[in-house]
Amino acid sequence: MPMQAANSLPEPLFAADAVREMDRYLIDTMGVDGFELMQSAARSAFRQLLKRWPNPKSLLVLCGAGNNGGDGYLMAANAHRHGIQASCLAVAPIRNLSGDAHKAYERAVAEGVSVHEVAGMEPSALEERLSSAGLVVDAMLGTGVTGAPREPFAAVIQAVNALASTPVLAVDVPSGLNATTGHAEGAVIRADLTVTFIGAKVGLYTGMGAGVCGQVVLDTLVPSEQLAGARIPPVAGRQTWLNCRRWVPVRPRNAHKGRFGHVLVVAGDRGFGGAGILAAEAASRSGAGLVSLATRPEHVAPALGRCPSIMVHGVIHGSELPPLLARADVVVCGPGLGKSAWGQQMLQQVLQIDCPRVLDADALNLMASRAVQPSERHVLTPHPGEAARLLGCDVSTVESDRLSAAAKLQKRWGGVVLLKGASTVVAAPDA
C-alpha cells in the first residue's frame, strides 16, 4: 500500500480527530470496507516490523478494545502465518470487543494465536510474559483515547517501559500519548518504532511525542486521490532538511562577503559574555557576510580570541548603539543580555529601529516584564519558560499543547514565533 513519498513540500500534519474523519470518509463515502482497511494497517505494521527486526524470536501483542486492538490481533495473525511465535494479551476484556475489532480477534484465534486476558493476571505473570517476549507490539489505546490511561492499561504500560532491552513497536500511536497535542497526562508507551496510518498525526512529532515514538513511519493505506475529496486541512506542516534546503541559495563563485548581509548581535552582560560570543559565531557559521557583536567591553578580547572574523564593539551605554544599528541588515538581541539597566538600554534601542530582528532570551524576559510591544518585523525565539512568561501562564500549560502556545504567542506579540523544544514549532502570521 502507498507509503508517504519524499518530496520538497512540508509533510502535512493533522489533528487526531481529522484523521478519524478521513477514516470515516474512506468507509462511508469512498466505499472502502472497514475490515479491509484494518487488515491493510496490520499488514503494513507487520512489514515495518520485519524491516526493522527481520528475525524476531517471538511476538507479544498487547491489544485494547477498539480498532487499534483489532490491528494488533490481525498483526499477530500475520506473524503466526509467517512462522513467528505470536501471542496476544487482551488488556481490554474480550467481552468488550465489538464490530471489526471482534472480527479481528476471531481471525487471530482461528489462525492459532493464543490470547490471554490481563484481567485477573498476577503482576509477576504479566512481567514474565513481557520479559520472555522477543518483541512487544503496543495496540492498546488509539487516537480516540485522551487523558491518563486507566487500569489495567497504566500498569501494563509501566511494565513495558521497565523492560531493559526488548524492542517495542507502537501501532498508530504509543498508548497514552495525545496524538494531537503530543502531551501525555499519565503513563505512556516508549516505542522504538511507531507505524501510523492514513495521515500523520501532529502529536507524534512534538512535545512528548518526539521522545516516545522512536522512528515514525506513515502509511496512508490508500492512494492519495482517494482522500483528496475529504478536503480536510492540516493543522501544521513538518519541515525537514529535504524540503528546506532549497531556501539556501547557491552562492556565485565570484561572490564576496558584502553580498551576504550584516548581522549585529547585541548580547552579553557581565557574567554572560559567552552567550553573545556563541550567538555571533553562529551567525558567522550560518553564512552571514559580516557579523558585529555589541557587548560589554570586558568581553571584547575573549570574543576576538575565539572568532577573529567578528567585529566586536565594547558598549557601555545604550546611546552608543545607534551607529552600529544603522549599519546592520539584521539584529539579534537577547542572549545573555541580562535584566539590568544595561540590558534594558540595549533592548530599548533595538526596538526603535525598523530592521528585521531576532529577539531571544533576556530580550523576551524584559518584554514580558515590561509589556513592551515590538513592531511586526521580528522573530521571537522563546524556550518553554520564556514562552510561559510571555503568555502569563505556567510551563506545563505551554508544554501540554505546543502548537496552541505558539499560535497564542504569535497573536499576542506579532511577527514570527519559533518555540524551542522537542521539534521546534514555528507560528507565522500567514500560517
Q: Are 346 and 318 in contact (CB under 8 A)?
A: yes
In this structure, are 357 and 260 located in the same domain?
Answer: yes
In this structure, are 262 and 231 located in the same domain?
Answer: no
Mean pLDDT score of the chain: 94
Question: Does residue 391 form part of some domain?
Answer: no
**Cα dihedral 207, 424, 416, 293 sign:** positive
CA 95 to CA 110: how far, in whole Å? 17
Q: Are 180 and 209 in contact (CB under 8 A)?
A: no
For the ranges 11-20, 112-121, 220-229, which has the lowest average pLDDT?
Answer: 220-229
The pLDDT of residue 250 is 86
Question: Does residue 131 form part of some domain?
Answer: yes
Mean pLDDT throughout 296-308? 97
Neighbours of 148 (CB within 10 A): 13
Provide the CATH number for the domain around residue 161.
3.40.50.10260
Going by C-alpha positions, the residue among 144, 204, 207 that lies closest to residue 404 is 207
Question: Does residue 2 form part of some domain?
Answer: no
Among 217, 243, 269, give the residue marking a domain's end: 243
In this structure, are 299 and 153 located in the same domain?
Answer: no
The pLDDT of residue 5 is 45
Question: Does residue 411 form part of some domain?
Answer: no
Among 243, 264, 286, give the residue marking a domain's end: 243
In this structure, are 229 and 93 located in the same domain?
Answer: yes
Q: Are 115 and 108 in contact (CB under 8 A)?
A: yes
What is the percent of the chain with per-residue pLDDT over 90, rounded to a whole number? 88
Question: Does residue 426 form part of some domain?
Answer: no
Could you give the residue ranges of the DSSP H alpha helices within 135-181?
Answer: 153-161
Count of domains for the chain: 2
Question: Does residue 30 form part of some domain?
Answer: yes
> What residues make up the domain containing 93?
11-243
In this structure, are 205 and 301 located in the same domain?
Answer: no
Provide the CATH number for the domain around residue 356.
3.40.1190.20
The pLDDT of residue 376 is 80
Question: Does residue 419 form part of some domain?
Answer: no
157-178: pLDDT as tens digits:
999 999 989 999 999 999 999 9
The pLDDT of residue 6 is 46
What is the percent of the chain with per-residue pLDDT over 70, rounded to a whole number? 97
In this structure, are 124 and 145 located in the same domain?
Answer: yes
In this structure, are 34 and 166 located in the same domain?
Answer: yes
The pLDDT of residue 244 is 82
67 pLDDT exceeds 50? yes
8 pLDDT exceeds 60? no
Instruction: For the chain, give the number of residues.
Output: 431
pTM tops 0.85: yes
| Cis status, amide bond into 174, omega within 30 of 0 | no
410 pLDDT exceeds 70? yes
Q: Are 303 and 312 in contact (CB under 8 A)?
A: yes
The helix (run of H) or strand (run of E) holding residue 376 is none
In this structure, are 132 and 21 located in the same domain?
Answer: yes
314 pLDDT exceeds 60? yes
231-249: pLDDT as tens digits:
999 999 998 888 888 888 8
Vertex 155: Cα angle to 154 and 156 (nearest 5): 90
Among 243, 264, 283, give the residue marking a domain's end: 243
- In this prediction, residue 279 has a pLDDT band, given cuts at 50, 70 and 90, of very high
In this structure, are 199 and 274 located in the same domain?
Answer: no
**Interacting residues of 367 by C-beta distance below 8 A, sequence separation 6+:** 347, 359, 374, 390, 413
In this structure, are 122 and 227 located in the same domain?
Answer: yes
Vertex 150: Cα angle to 144 and 152 (nearest 5): 115
**Interacting residues of 399 by C-beta distance below 8 A, sequence separation 6+:** 183, 207, 384, 421
Return the CA Rg of the chain.
27
- In this prediction, residue 93 has a pLDDT band, given cuts at 50, 70 and 90, of very high
In this structure, are 124 and 17 located in the same domain?
Answer: yes
Question: Does residue 421 form part of some domain?
Answer: no
In this structure, are 169 and 284 located in the same domain?
Answer: no
CA 89 to CA 156: how far, in whole Å? 10
